[in-house]
Structure 1
Amino acid sequence: MSTMPASHGHSEACCNIPPVVSKGYDAKGTYEELGGFKTWPKEATKGILTIFDIFGYYPQTLQGADILSTSDSKQKYRVFIPDWFNGEPCPMEIFPPDTEEKQKKLGAFFQKNSPPSVAEKVPGYIKDVTSKYPEIKEWAIVGFCWGGKVVSLVTSSSDTIFKAGIEAHPAMVAPEDAKNIKIPLALLASKDEPADDVKKFEDNLTGPKHVEIFGDQIHGWMAARSDLEDPRVKEEYIRGYETALKFLSKHL
């Protein structure tokens, strides 16, 4: 497990990541009733289900979806980001939960939107999407923060449809979850996830894996909480998506 940035050379799988927009990103995807936000080149036959963080459709997350969709020079992906919160994501204003009132609001949000409740919906969602887009033959799942826990729950099922999984700065890292994950899985942690739990999670994974701690990044640096106007954050945001693309290229 690495705790420091690796080489910054571009990998073969992700040499075409476009310039990252620091502010005011214009997402390339569209919205539809079935799948929420989606982004893809229509010729793609591999799908990525993205589980966003608790803040929903933030520009940093949507830009990441576009990067995943088209930046691999050899393989394109159709990316789907369902709205699990039905238009009611967690307000950014209550984070960090440093007052009793904020803590109550955050607790109520998690009670209403628990990872297990969303994980239960994933198989039905994939069934609906593949019925509409039968050309998608293989699937990966990517989750951020809260969504990382959903990835653990979904991929630990013995009958999971997913061929690969990626967790970025996952919340609620539980080493026990990893024992039942047999598919290739990458975990990209920040400095804020408990390092001991991340290491134990890595040790319990029995399939192909990539586990790395981005040691100077905060929880959320690849999604809604990413400050892309900070050059170092932007650099590691790009490297995080490069790492994800390289992993998907190898295992999907």
Structure 2
Amino acid sequence: MTLIEVCCNTSPTNAEWVNKGVDKVLPTKVNGEDRLTYRTGPKESKRGIIGIYDIFGFHPTAYQFFDRLALANEGFKVSVPHMFKVVSPVEQLLGNRPALMEWVSKHGDYKNSHLDALIRAAVEDLRADGCTSFSIIGQCWGTWIAVQAASEEDSLFLAAGGPHPSMTTIETVKDVRCPLILLASKDEDDMLPVVESVKHKNFAVESFHKRFENMHHGWCGCRGDWKDPEQFKAGLEAIKLFADYFTKVAEVSEHQ
């Protein structure tokens, strides 16, 4: 699998945001090591979300996205693990697709980089803090990781998806065990067939898709410039769509 072309040659924006959450060490070691996660959201919420950033790692717009998502509706506890153990050098690799893919494959492989165990540790941390339901959302490459986590036989996730998804195809979602919410930009392939491909699974909540034709790849993450009114408006719309969807799947689960 490879990232879409625009993902490999577009720089992040210079954005600003004052983080609302804090980093914490996960109680469960991953492959024998302590790992960090960024935690944000109201302490009283019982609805958990695992967030996964894009290949640039943490960035002000990504923090803003997850902080705002955590406060949407009645609030969610959001946990965004530090997926990469080293600082992402992706910005220096832009334009060199083979080198970029080599780095991502080495440091961002779901199994070999122990991201599966990291996500499980983040879920257990949320559960220990009182969460009783869980969804997972990833940006760009992160959507692909989220789908893999939601395809595990023991997955607890009620929904999975993300904005401007990369490497998300009919093939990669074929084993997913929960409904999907995919919000594409003008730069991704048509995601509607991907969403339609899982509808035969008859999940309690139907999968959802929307295409933001006026937005570019990464507008909710590192390539987002939310000082731009149009991007900010689209970012808030995306957050509301995700929050409403994650609320819906949690409510349906609570009443089953």
State how 1:18-97 maps to structure 2 within 5 Å.
Answer: 23-34=15-26, 35-72=36-73, 75-95=74-94, 97=95
2:222 alignment counterpart: 224
Q: Of residues 150, 174, 177 in structure 1, which corresponds to 2:172? A: 177
Residue 205 of structure 1 aligns with an amino acid whose one-letter code is V
Residue 157 of structure 2 aligns with an amino acid whose one-letter code is F
Residues 48-98 of structure 1, C-alpha deviations (whole Å, 9 max, x = no match): 1001111111111111111111121xx221111110111422443433x2x
Q: Which range moves more in the overlay, 114-123 or 199-208?
A: 114-123
Q: Could you tell me how far 1:220 is from its partner in structure 2?
A: 0.6
Q: Of residues 196, 207, 210 in structure 2, which corresponds to 1:209? A: 207
1:109 alignment counterpart: 103
- Give the Cα separation in 1 of the matches to 2:169 and 2:133: 27
Contact 1:115/1:147 (<8 A) preserved:
no
Q: Could you tell me how far 1:194 is from its partner in structure 2?
A: 1.2
- Give the Cα separation in 2 of the matches to 1:225 and 1:153: 24
Secondary structure, counterpart of 1:60 in structure 2: helix
Residue 80 of structure 2 aligns with an amino acid whose one-letter code is I
Residue 103 of structure 1 aligns with an amino acid whose one-letter code is R
- Give the Cα separation in 2 of the matches to 1:157 and 1:104: 29
- Give the Cα separation in 2 of the matches to 1:219 and 1:210: 19
Contact 1:54/1:89 (<8 A) preserved:
yes
Contact 2:20/2:67 (<8 A) preserved:
yes
Instruction: Please report the TM-score for the alignment, with normalisation by the length of structure 1.
Output: 0.80
Contact 1:186/1:209 (<8 A) preserved:
yes
State the superposition RMSD in angstroms: 2.0
Residue 23 of structure 2 aligns with an amino acid whose one-letter code is Y
Q: Could you tell me how far 1:116 is from its partner in structure 2?
A: 2.5
**For structure 2, which runs of at least 5 residues remain unmatched after alignment?**
1-13, 27-35, 251-256
Q: Could you tell me how far 1:230 is from its partner in structure 2?
A: 2.0
1:249 alignment counterpart: 247
Q: Could you tell me how far 1:124 is from its partner in structure 2?
A: 3.3
Q: Which range moves more in the overlay, 59-68 or 117-126?
A: 117-126
Q: Of residues 100, 121, 138 in structure 1, which corresponds to 2:117? A: 121
- Give the Cα separation in 1 of the matches to 2:38 and 2:123: 17
Q: Could you tell me how far 1:166 is from its partner in structure 2?
A: 2.4
Secondary structure, counterpart of 2:187 in structure 1: coil
Q: Write out the 4+ residue segments of structure 1 that deviate beyond 4 Å after TM superposition.
A: none
Q: Could you tell me how far 1:123 is from its partner in structure 2?
A: 5.1
Contact 1:119/1:153 (<8 A) preserved:
no
Contact 1:37/1:80 (<8 A) preserved:
yes
- Give the Cα separation in 1 of the matches to 2:187 and 2:39: 30
1:30 and 1:127, CA in 2 relative to 1: closer, same or farther beyond 3 A? Answer: closer
2:9 alignment counterpart: none
Q: Which range moves more in the overlay, 153-162 or 75-84?
A: 153-162
Residues 171-211 of structure 1, C-alpha deviations (whole Å, 9 max, x = no match): 1122123332241220011111112xx23212211232111
Give the number of aligned pairs: 221
**For structure 1, which runs of at least 5 residues remain unmatched after alignment?**
1-21
Residue 146 of structure 1 aligns with an amino acid whose one-letter code is W
- Give the Cα separation in 2 of the matches to 1:38 and 1:127: 12
Secondary structure, counterpart of 1:178 in structure 2: coil
Instruction: Please report the TM-score for the alignment, with normalisation by the length of structure 2.
Output: 0.79
1:249 and 1:127, CA in 2 relative to 1: closer, same or farther beyond 3 A? Answer: closer
Secondary structure, counterpart of 1:120 in structure 2: helix
